[in-house]
Amino acid sequence: MSAPLLVELLTEELPPKALPRLGEAFAGGIEAGLRKRGFLPEGATGEGFATPRRLAVLLSSALPATAPKTVEVKLMPVSVGLAADGAPTPALVKKLAAAGLAGIDPSRVTRRMDGKAETLFAQAQSPSAPLADGLQQALDEALAALPIPKVMSYQLSDGDTTVQFVRPAHGLVALHGSDVVPVSALGLAAGRVTRGHRFEGASEIALASAGEYAGRLKSEGAVVASFADRRAAIAQALAGAAAAEQASLGPDAERDALLDEVTALVEWPVVYVGRFETAFLSVPQECLILTMRQNQKYFPLFDGEGRLLERFLIVSNLAPKDPSRIIGGNERVIRPRLADARFFFETDRKTPLAERVGKLADVVYHRKLGTQLERVDRLRKLAVRIQGALPRGATGAPWADRAAMLAKADLVTLMVGEFPELQGVMGKYYAQANDEEPAVVRAIEQHYWPRFAGDQLPDGDVSIAVALADRLDAMAGLFSLGEVPTGDRDPYALRRAALGVVRILAERNVEMDFRELVSAACEPFAGSKAEPLEEFVYERLRGYLREQGYSTNQVEAVVCQRPRRFGQLAARLEAVAAFAVLPEAGALAAANKRVKNILEKSGRSTSVDPGLLVQEEERRLHATLGALAPRIDRDVARGDFTAALKSLAGLRADVDAFFDKVLVNAEDLAVRSNRLALLTSLERLLNSVADISRLAA
């Protein structure tokens, strides 16, 4: 009879950032291993569990053994296995014996073509396999495939055997219903005894059956075994504690990673409120928030306007009757951290950013690309060129040079040395303290924007200029060294840099020539070629536009033309989408494809001689092109791409008639050249907004 199946591996504390992946891989691996071997009936489901000290899976139903199966065994070619009179040869008899089919009725041996040779096959019964065998194989496979960040070596209790795993393992549970399944792993034999919380619950819990696992762990062991349930409980407790303090936890995106990490640190979560002295709030709140989250795993609290409060939430793994010692201990621990942050900030402010720039000569940017100071020199020149091509911001002054000069100076401050995540943020505060121009202050922080998908973009001509210069210089320099991302490998985050360029140019409607930007960025690097870098960014552009909801064909119709101004992309794509639903769209897309093929084979010509238009259909097409071209060119020039594409609908009848009646490759070479020139004019008009041939099915 089928019954629930539990498998649990008990360990020392697992690495918290890896725990969710380890839990999913362990549960998924065992379930997949048993399913492919036929031990799970149809409809069987699995539930994974992961705590700091265990990985487990509970399968709703598993079979005690697989059913016997009829399998086909390939034997040998007929010419080898059968004699001329059809009797089995000694070779066939030996093969049957080796396959466990000795004495098989010859009628059960069939013959059929296998490739080019006629071959003998036999039907055989595969024996039933016990659950213990299947589970052992599935367990071994699951453990071998775990995404372990770093393997530990340790000795077993025999003092002789060394095993390797993410952390030392101390127990193995395998229950099928109420029966122990005799499997082993990492030197451990399976049993039925699990372990509760180190301090709050029963140290050992003998399980009577697999199905009582999560319930008894919670009631007797003070362990919430499910990672998802534990996370939800922590989130609810945090929200309740924040509400009681009339505070908020800040944006979800900023605390989700910490919530995952804290969930992986506790088995019995309890939330407490801690406090620190208000004097620390004189330090930029980003510093305090980072030290609380990163160093102490605390959840800062904020007022309704997003300002940091002098309170924080602690997620503890203990639930004593009097939690004052836990709260007091955490408050004592946080004070030195906050004091360090205040010391760094106050010390850093004593030296103006401008005086720190020279120290960047001691910071290596890349061993083949020089120091950060050399990079700053490149950024200054490139940012000035970019700002010069942008509409001047509110200041009306060319501040890009100053901003680029100071943008990396905070890398040599104490605060950024302790918290690299604060580069740019601290530069902003130190620039404010130095009374720098507001546009410069903004650019120092914002030139790192966007930092991740969906992040805010730099604002203003100075910030945009430095942000673009920063990304383009990084990509151009690394591409010149052949450091191009491949597969999942992207150690310098160049894909993110390229997507940042795409978003800034497109969403800030920056009317700059993208290819000129890339060319300018490549100038300082000997041997650097713009084309590979351009194509790299265009590929990111394709993905970005598809995420905006445009179809692959619509995106390709625009991007295949290697657009120079990303600020026009949205308008061009909206025009393509509007054109695609017109009744004339399919025919014109197919015609454009046909025109391209003809011109690529026969060559293009640029001058139409009306006197050589000998057929009525080509004369009408020429006249229609002459009437529509000025209107379409005017619409394209003013950015009304939808109107331009809709005007193309007026070409359909004449284009269809031309291809029905006119032979392009006429014997008369002058007539042929003239018709190719007419098609060249048609091609230019059809592709004035996008390559509509890409819309053809």
* Residues 373, 212: Cα–Cα separation, whole Å: 64
Comparing C-alpha atoms, which of 654, 670, 573, 666 is closest to residue 619? 654
Number of domains forming the structure of the chain: 5
Query: Percentage of the chain surpassing pLDDT 90?
Result: 84
Integer Rg of the chain from CA: 36
- Residue 273 tokens read as 């409120």
Q: Which helix (H) or strand (E) holds 170?
A: strand 169-176
Cβ atoms of 537 and 496 within 8 Å: the answer is no
Average pLDDT over residues 305-318: 97
Preceding peptide of 450 cis, ω within 30°: yes
- Domain end among 205, 221, 237: 221
Same domain, 415 and 396: yes
Q: Is residue 541 part of a domain?
A: yes
Residue 666 domain boundaries:
585-695
Query: Does residue 553 lie within any of the structural domains?
Result: no
**376 lies in the same domain as 482:** yes
pLDDT recorded at residue 107: 62
Whether residues 279 and 171 fall in one domain: no
Q: By CB neighbour count within 10 A (0-12 exposed, 13-18 middle, 19+ buried), where does 689 fall? A: buried
| Beta carbons within 10 angstroms of residue 259's beta carbon | 18
Torsion, Cα of 304, 305, 306, 308 (10° steps): -80
567, part of any domain: no
Please name the residue ranges forming H helices in 10-108. Answer: 19-36, 78-81, 90-98
Q: Are residues 337 and 465 in the same domain?
A: no
Inform me whether the pLDDT recorded for 395 exceeds 60: no
| Domain endpoint, select from 165, 196, 221 | 221
Write the pLDDT tens digit of every residue in 141-163.
Answer: 999 999 999 999 999 888 888 99
Q: What is the pLDDT of residues 12-40, one digit of tens each?
A: 999 999 999 999 999 999 999 999 999 99
pLDDT at 396 over 60: no
pLDDT digit string, tens, across residues 281-292: 999 999 999 999
Q: Report if residue 573 sits inside a domain.
A: no
pLDDT digits over 238-264, tens only? 999 999 999 999 988 788 989 999 999
Q: What does pLDDT average to over the chain?
A: 93
Residues with Cβ < 8 Å from 470, sequence gap 6 or more? 379, 407, 447, 448
Q: Do 375 and 485 belong to one domain? A: yes
Distance of CA 514 to the CA centre of its chain: 25
Domain boundary pick from 162, 197, 221: 221
Q: Is the pLDDT of residue 99 over 80?
A: no
What would the mean pLDDT of 231-242 be, rounded to a whole number?
97
First-last CA distance in the chain: 54
In a domain, 333, yes or no: yes
Spatial CA neighbour of 193 closest among 218, 169, 213, 177: 213
Q: pLDDT tens digits, residue range 651-697? A: 999 999 999 999 999 999 999 999 999 999 999 999 999 999 998 75
Tell me: do 60 and 182 sit in the same domain: yes
The confidence band for 106, taking pLDDT boundaries of 50, 70 and 90, is low
Same domain assignment for residues 437 and 501: yes
| pLDDT value at 10 more than 70 | yes
Calculate mean pLDDT across residues 208-228.
97
Is the pLDDT at 189 greater than 60? The verdict is yes
